Amino acid sequence: MRVLTDSICVRVLCRENVLVAIGNRLAFLYLDANGDTQQTFAAVPRLLDKIHGIVACLVTDSTYQIVFHAGPEVYSTIVDCSTHSFSECTRIEVREDVQPLPVPHIRRRVSDWISSVSLLSPTQLCLLTSHGVAVLLHRSAENPTEWSMIDKCACDDGSTLYCSTLSGQQWERLVFFTGTALGLLLIWRVAGDNRGKVLERISAHNGVIFSIACDFASGLLTTTSDDRSVKFWKIRQCDAKDDTTVVELHEERYCFAHTARVFQCRIIKNAFRCLVATIGEDSHLCLWNREGDLLLKKQLDEGATLWGMDYDPATTTIFVTASNGNLHKYSIKSWMEDSQRGSDIQHMKDISPTLAVGEHLAKIRFIPRNGTLVAVTNKHSVVTLNSDGTVIQSIAKIDAFKCSILDVGGSFLYLAGGCNVQLYKVTNEGLSELITLKSIFFDDKMLLEEHEEPLRDGAIRSLSYCRLSRDVAICDGYGRCLIYDETLTNVLSKHRIPKSPERWITSFAVPRAGYLLLADRSGHFYLYDVEHVKPLCRLSNVHGKLGITSIAIEAEDAECGSYRLTTSGHDGRICELYLSTKDPKLELLTYSKTRISWIDRTIPCDSRRFYLGFNDSHFLMTDERNEICCQFDCGGGHRCWDFFYNQHSNEFTFVFIQHKKLKRVQITLACIVGSALSLPRHKWHTRACNVLRVISRSDGNYLLVSGGEDNILRINLWANGELLAEPRKHIFSHISGIKTIITSALKEDPDRLLVISAGGRAQICLTTVRMLTLGPKQEYEYMLLASDAERCRWKTNRQSSYDPETKFMCAARVCEDRIVFGCSDGFIRIYKISHTDGQWLVELETESFYGRCVLQTVPIDGCTMEGLFVTMATDGYLCFWDITTPNEPIYRHRHHSSGMNSVDVRIDGKGNILLATGGDDQSISVSQFAVTTLDGRRELKHVVGLCEKYLHTAQVTGIKLLSDDRLISAGVDQRIYISSFTGFSSLAVTGTTSTCVADVKGISFISERNELIVYGCGIEIVNLSNL
């Protein structure tokens, strides 16, 4: 993609043919003959505004008349679904009536922001402006690209409209529903005696009305607002002769489910059901029935605002667009096909077996080979059940045996209680009778630590089965761990878990013969060899202080003993680790966050991987893309639950015990897919991107390293002029927004990139990335901390420089091992960075108080400029510093009247410093400075400069110096200028264009391709060749 920003609207044309607007681009998604998803883009002129609405009207069996609007501009085109092509996009111009001067009153013009459009027919179009002016246009038969105005009507209420809906297919019978900022719902018409008069003015919400949906056939109207509500209205159209009453409207229900502003609603119906779908700022899709009952609440994105949606009745799929450019889909087939199904709770079935009075199931497991259930009751009886909960087999219990652990291996069932383990043979028909009752003895001197007193026999606290090695690990509460074969006949090895609050294992894996991986319940991870009791190495708190629930092993170089590990835990994270058995080493590379708060299981399934766990009272299953596959209310995290996956039917069966009842939920993944379109997931920043760095690779492609207000460091690949969806990496080490990034290749390994990122909460993170494989490793984290005494002193007399709210605003690498940070508390801090024996270290070396928030820091690179850097703060001064004398600047020069948001610097042919800045005062300044040395001290002199105050109309946030006395500037006004400053006489504009990215934070220029990357609330790649 070349544009990733707010995707505001989507329109379904026909089955598997979808139009979606991403920023100012219009994309057409469709399936080709092979069933693969393809996309093509319309040749839309470069628009300053994003596309806000798309309407379509069928012309022939395969062609559609398309009209879309962006800001005050409206365009039309023809889409052919058979050839998947666009005709030429033409702008629809509405000419204003010429009025004699002076104008007797303030007129509301047609050349206004477009609120909504409606195609009444392929040749008739109705526009409604944001101040209530409705226009009827007719397309010429001789010239299909020409539209002429037939009629115009202005509503007598000129309030700014935040939303509008047009009902009807004839101009004379159109009914306009509009919503205002004050929560008023206005209803009016453009025909009859009351033309343009507000017929109904209803106070509908306690805030802005963002969307209105109306269906006269079902008698339903819905509205949404920033008060987080969805309101249901009963509506009936009237046929009054005097046109004084158009509709009868009565409020029915006031519903809440969203936790933020609700931006869109849509009425969806068929022969069985009438549903309402809503989306909003909280990233959730909510589905309601006609009575206002909440049927579904599903999170579609990770923090992005959901803007628009449309429904495809052919595939029963809702398509939803998001603020990060993503397009989502969700099938509601189960709700639309069955008129009796009210919510997803109906998928849950009680399959509790009939047992003796006072007896109920306490533990439950599936037998993997046939899907049969095996359960233990509160009376410690063992029973097997079929998928409907019918008792197949009941096994006689052993007196005095109390089962506390139930696990199923490849061929055996293990029941553990006290110091004993019962072993049952698993067959295709069920369970055999008891094979053995094994007593486990942990009393072994070799398991004692030095000078430790003999321990009494401990009860079994954990029993874990490794499916790869078919071994069993049994552990007691003192950390004594015995490794058995699956028949519990032979002890293969003995080990001792180091001291921790909860000293038994939660996960067990065998990477290769002779080595074991054990994880305890306190979150520590250990590597053992079978010959030693103590661990070879330890990694503490991999998942915080919570246990590791699964370990997946992938051989990187099995002969050399190198492995990649993926673990999940009860902290909701998925961690990637490196394991070496040759020189024993366990190290954490990186981790990612999931939508599951408590991950309990991991399911490898062909090329996919699913994660199962709990969020509050809900059970969730997500895939490796962090997409939610299923979600249902189960009452909360359950110890007694299990799943079974049937590969032939692609069906998951979940069972759990709730209130002593056995519940079952069956989900077929194929049934929840809906549309066959494969939608790309670029997963760009969900909040503003503050900083972006471009790094060239040896293969000619580029890495984009970016950070923003969503606290995530993102690494993307840019190849062949496109931002690729895969591969990508996300680093979650920051706890607040990222403000600055420094990148440099390591001298000892040029393929590895060192990324230094910093931002809020005075946090610095060091990450290394392999540029060709995008393999990250989180190396080091640093935070500017202080004791409580120092914090109190800072509050009273401001003598301490440690403010917990400090932000690192900018950074510059000066010399080889010094990093200069400009901070929000007015300090300039210099850190020393070192790398010894594979370990990184960041230490504060010195700090100087400047007294203003430092916004920009840039090094001066040159053979005579080593150790020189420039800082810019909110006072508008350029401050030149020498790192050898960091107490005060060696030279100051006023460049702006206020803060500077962007800077670029280079050394010209004469060895002078050429520096360009853009500021809050909307001006661009370019200056030349000469550097001399006197008595060993550097001195600077301002040679020449210029300042252009009126080029941009907002803050200048991006600037880049080119090699031929030209520069590129961009600002919050979304304008991009290429200007020449030859001779420093004036700034002459040589080229200009616009970007649809709002709140521009900066620019990056790739000279080899002559392309500019603009970033802020989105990202856009602009080719400058034609400017």
Task: Check pLDDT > 70 for residue 864.
Answer: no
**In this predicted model, which residue has the larger pLDDT, 475 or 141?**
475
Whole-number pLDDT of residue 428: 78
* Token pair 């398509």 in the structure block, residue: 319
Tally of CB atoms within 10 A around 347: 14
Tokens read off for 200? 């109904």
Examine the pLDDT at 399 and tell me if it is beyond 80: no
Cα distance between residue 927 and residue 956, in whole Å: 16
Q: Which residues pair with 328 in a beta bridge?
A: 320
Is the pLDDT higher at 450 or at 782?
A: 782
One-letter-per-residue 3-state SS of 453-512: CCCCCCCEEEEEEECCCCEEEEEECCCEEEEEECCCCCEEEEEECCCCCCCCEEEEECCC
pLDDT tens digits, residue range 281-321?
Answer: 999 999 999 999 999 898 899 889 999 999 999 999 999 99
Q: Which residue has the tokens 């790869």?
A: 468
CA distance 509 to 497: 15
Tell me the average pLDDT across 67-87.
94
Least confident of 7-16, 119-128, 395-404, 878-887: 395-404
Rounded distance between C-alpha atoms, residue 777 and residue 590, angstroms: 5
pLDDT on residue 789: 47
Q: State the Cα–Cα distance between residues 1002 and 71, nearest whole angstrom.
A: 24
Parallel, antiparallel or unpaired: strands 73-80 and 85-86: antiparallel
Domain residue ranges of the chain, discontinuous segments joined by +: 1-91, 264-342, 688-807+817-849
Question: Band of the pLDDT at 344, cuts 50, 70, 90?
Answer: very low
Please give the structure tokens belonging to residue 701: 């492609």
pLDDT at 670: 63
Q: How many CB atoms lie within 10 A of CB 407?
A: 17
Residues with Cβ within 8 Å of 227's Cβ and at least 6 positions away in sequence, in order, are 183, 205, 206, 207
Q: Identify the H or E element spanning 671.
A: none
Kind plus residue range of the DSSP H or E element containing 465: strand 460-466
Q: What percentage of the chain has pLDDT greater than the value 70?
A: 95
pLDDT digits (tens, 9 = 90+) for 918-973: 999 999 999 999 998 887 788 899 999 999 998 999 999 999 999 889 999 999 99
Asked if pLDDT for residue 841 goes beyond 50, the answer is yes
Residue 135 near residue 154 (C-beta atoms within 8 A): no
DSSP type of residue 411: S
Does residue 102 have a cis bond before it (omega within 30 degrees)?
yes
Round to whole Å and give the CA distance between 870 and 847. 15
Q: What pLDDT, in 10s, does the model give residues 1000-1015?
A: 999 999 999 999 999 9
For the chain, the average pLDDT equals 90
Residue 336: predicted pLDDT:
85
Q: Give me the numbers of helices (H) and strands (E) for the chain, helices first please.
A: 2, 83
pLDDT at 786 over 70: no
With contact defined as beta carbons under 8 Å apart, do 631 and 298 qualify? yes
Q: Kindly report, residue by residue over 370-389, the tens digit of the pLDDT.
A: 889 999 998 888 899 998 88
For residue 245, the model assigns a pLDDT of 61
Handedness of CA 585, 588, 589, 594 (dihedral sign): positive
Q: Which residues are CB-contacts of 680 (< 8 A; sequence separation ≥ 6)?
A: 1, 327, 725
Closest of 260, 257, 329 to residue 295, by C-alpha: 257
Please give the structure tokens belonging to residue 1004.
Answer: 């990056």
- SS3 letters across 733-746: CCCCCEEEEEEEEC
The mean pLDDT value for 789-803 works out to 51
List the Cα angle 613/617/622 in 5-degree steps: 30
DSSP 982: G
Backbone angles phi, psi at 4, to 5 degrees: -135, 100
Per the listing, tokens 């993926």 go with 566
pLDDT per position as a tens digit, 630-655: 888 887 766 789 999 888 888 889 99
Is 50 exceeded by the pLDDT of residue 345? Answer: no
Predicted confidence (pLDDT) per residue in 188-240, tens digit: 999 887 888 998 999 999 999 999 999 999 999 999 999 999 999 999 987 65
Look-up of token digits 């809900």: 618
State whether the Cα torsion 409-413-419-420 is positive or negative.
Answer: negative
CATH of domain 688-807+817-849: 2.130.10.10
Residue 830 has pLDDT above 90, yes or no: yes
At 305, list the tokens. 């605002």
Region 39-43 average pLDDT: 94
**In a 10 Å sphere around its CB, with 0-12 CB exposed, 13-18 middle and 19+ buried, how is residue 451 labelled?**
exposed
pLDDT of 558: 81
Count Cα atoms within 13 angstroms, Cβ side, for 58: 6
What are the tokens at 498? Answer: 């180091």
Q: Show the beta-strand stretches assigned E in 220-372.
A: 220-225, 229-237, 247-256, 262-269, 274-280, 284-288, 294-299, 306-312, 317-322, 327-331, 348-350, 361-366
